[in-house]
Chains A and B, each alone.
Chain A
């Protein structure tokens, strides 16, 4: 079923295209009427700003004389991009979230998968309760979650730290070596339930007959899970991975909030934080170039991963 769905969409899309080519008449107008509510905001709030950011990234600031002078912008070619690539802080922020992603994404998705598989077994009681509980953190806005966790991490006021101390442990969640993983924990807490739900929905759409057939062949629950369920929901796992890669590259809220209580998170900790810091210093053109580079890296990584895995999975 899951296998058929994408093909079906493709067929619809292509016939739609042919019809549009023939064009004209009331039909085209109807289509236009239906599409305008989408395209108008899409152009206004998506294409125009992106185009504007790209344009800004090609500008440089010049100034006419005097102590404070008068500034103006002019075309500077790739000057801003050269600066981005020469910026050590940019590369360290990329390296940092690279490390973050390589560890956090697999851990989170593995936990999500296990949870989804557990929810899908007949063994588990109170399913809807567990589903809601696991999904609940997603309902908490990222900033609030980060504030909540920063309270739990804070050595002066945290009941968690006090509890660990009473059993002889002295964790420093905000220390130079730990703070990245403390941020990763917030992300994992926030998104595991969400990813689980996507995988769980995919599991739900697997026809029961498949399981019956497998059982008749003598397959155990374990075999059914790993040999049947996981391969079938591979597209959802890939999808959640792509979302997670994108999310990692755009990491902002969690470290930005933790920064308020830990001096081990710099103002340029993640690429997005760097872009923000640069923009707040009135260097909009440089911030635009950084944003464009982040967007390109995100695009290349997520689509690269999709191509790689869809080929392997034979999709």
Chain B
């Protein structure tokens, strides 16, 4: 509720100023697209701005700065409001040279002309072979331009409380059918015990599940986007989780990463977790008492062939206005392919590298004490190999995710279904693209 006249004024100003600041003073004339950048090395010392959200990245940057007196990097942590900060900077024409951008937001920022094409630098195009193919494809938008270097990925797997599974005589599920059967058995044995939780407010996790089932939601051909968010593959996943929700076999009252979620795990109310590689440090750091009780196994599959999904992960993008492409490429390559840098990022930030060499890092081939010294990164490495490389994100993904979440929440509250949520997201995708004057049509 409001208080004084100041507050009234503040609110109006905030609403208006927010818009004003965000929109900057851009002229209504078309701005130039990301192209025709040159790759000349600078004469003398250069300072690059690099914005990111990774814990411990300051130490990685300090290492670089010590080794490279001529290319100094200043970093800023933008974890608080990553895309808001980047968006504001872009509108104001003050974007940093490099910024961290999630794969799913790359097309969204691309439609805002946020990037510069670094392909003028031969070192940038040559980097292609160093990364997991789908990550390169997503950050180059499937073309020849180089707009970002992949940093980390989130290959998915199943985290299992092996002690609870053993106690109830359950086998590790290989398929989603077996997983549902296990869910049933657990619930029958103990009504306070669920196999997992479904967070209706987490479109990213759900997208990972859709990705696993080869649900290709966006394609560009014939001068327009083809939107198939509500495809049969997507609906198969939605119907499956809807059944588990309806039968009350999964919890729907826990937000991912919340205190409530950890409390539920702490109280042994949940027996597994469908998660990504970066989740390994999350459990290790938040549930230290459960060391030795967790195992990481491949994600259950839809058929007999191995397939996996990806949840999260990000890139380091070359931002619009970058005047030091040569130096930026140099730093970006080191940051995301150098074994020393990658090892440090994995240790401090929990990153699972997108560089193919990453899986050969000593730290990633050893057993992890928290997980009974299991070589959990072997599971993630396999998972990474089984991810559908054709999957791509839409140019208004942020808006679509919000709409999907709103409708998923309705479904878990008992009005509508997850399948309806997909239809709502499909409609939002088409509408939001129309609002941005992006030509789009429904269907493949």
Number of interface residues of A (CB under 8 A): 70
Least CB separation from B225: chain A residue: A67
When the two chains form their complex, are residues B2 and A246 in contact, meaning their CB atoms are under 8 A apart? yes
Name A71's contact: one of B1, B408, B437 (CB within 8 Å): B437
Whether A199 sits at the interface, judged by CB under 8 Å, is no
Using known A-B contacts A281-B399, A282-B112, A286-B435, determine if residue A108 contacts B1 with beta carbons closer than 8 Å.
Answer: yes
A286-309 residues with Cβ-Cβ distance < 8 A to B are: 286-288, 291, 294-295, 298
When the two chains form their complex, are residues B438 and A291 in contact, meaning their CB atoms are under 8 A apart? no
Stretch of A7-15, A217-225, A266-274 lying at the B interface: A266-274
Q: How far is the CA of A46 from the CA of B8 in the complex (A)?
A: 11
Stretch of A53-61, A122-130, A200-208, A229-237 lying at the B interface: A53-61
Known: A156-B264, A176-B414, A279-B19. 17 other contacts (CB 8 A): A45-B17, A46-B12, A50-B12, A50-B16, A52-B16, A53-B20, A68-B33, A68-B107, A68-B113, A72-B31, A156-B254, A243-B7, A248-B2, A250-B11, A280-B398, A288-B16, A288-B23
Whether A82 sits at the interface, judged by CB under 8 Å, is no
Which chain B positions have C-beta within 8 A of A286? 435
Stretch of B125-133, B172-180, B255-263, B374-382 lying at the A interface: B255-263
Cβ of B104 to closest chain A Cβ, rounded Å: 13
Interface size class of B (residues with CB under 8 A): 35 or more
Stretch of A29-37, A113-121, A257-265 lying at the B interface: A257-265
When the two chains form their complex, are residues B111 and A71 in contact, meaning their CB atoms are under 8 A apart? yes
Cβ of B440 to closest chain A Cβ, rounded Å: 11
Which chain B positions have C-beta within 8 A of A67? 141, 220, 225
Cβ of A315 to closest chain B Cβ, rounded Å: 18
When the two chains form their complex, are residues A191 and B20 in contact, meaning their CB atoms are under 8 A apart? no
When the two chains form their complex, are residues B437 and A61 in contact, meaning their CB atoms are under 8 A apart? yes
Whether B337 sits at the interface, judged by CB under 8 Å, is no
Q: How far is the CA of A155 from the CA of B263 in the complex (A)?
A: 11
Whether B200 sits at the interface, judged by CB under 8 Å, is yes
When the two chains form their complex, are residues B15 and A70 in contact, meaning their CB atoms are under 8 A apart? no
Name B258's contact: one of A104, A174, A260 (CB within 8 Å): A260
Q: How far is the CA of A68 from the CA of B18 in the complex (A)?
A: 26
Using known A-B contacts A64-B30, A68-B107, determine if residue A176 contacts B413 with beta carbons closer than 8 Å.
Answer: yes
When the two chains form their complex, are residues B19 and A261 in contact, meaning their CB atoms are under 8 A apart? no
Cβ of A41 to closest chain B Cβ, rounded Å: 10
Q: How far is the CA of A138 from the CA of B3 in the complex (A)?
A: 9
Using known A-B contacts A68-B110, A266-B406, determine if residue A63 contacts B436 with beta carbons closer than 8 Å.
Answer: yes
B416-444 residues with Cβ-Cβ distance < 8 A to A are: 432, 435-438
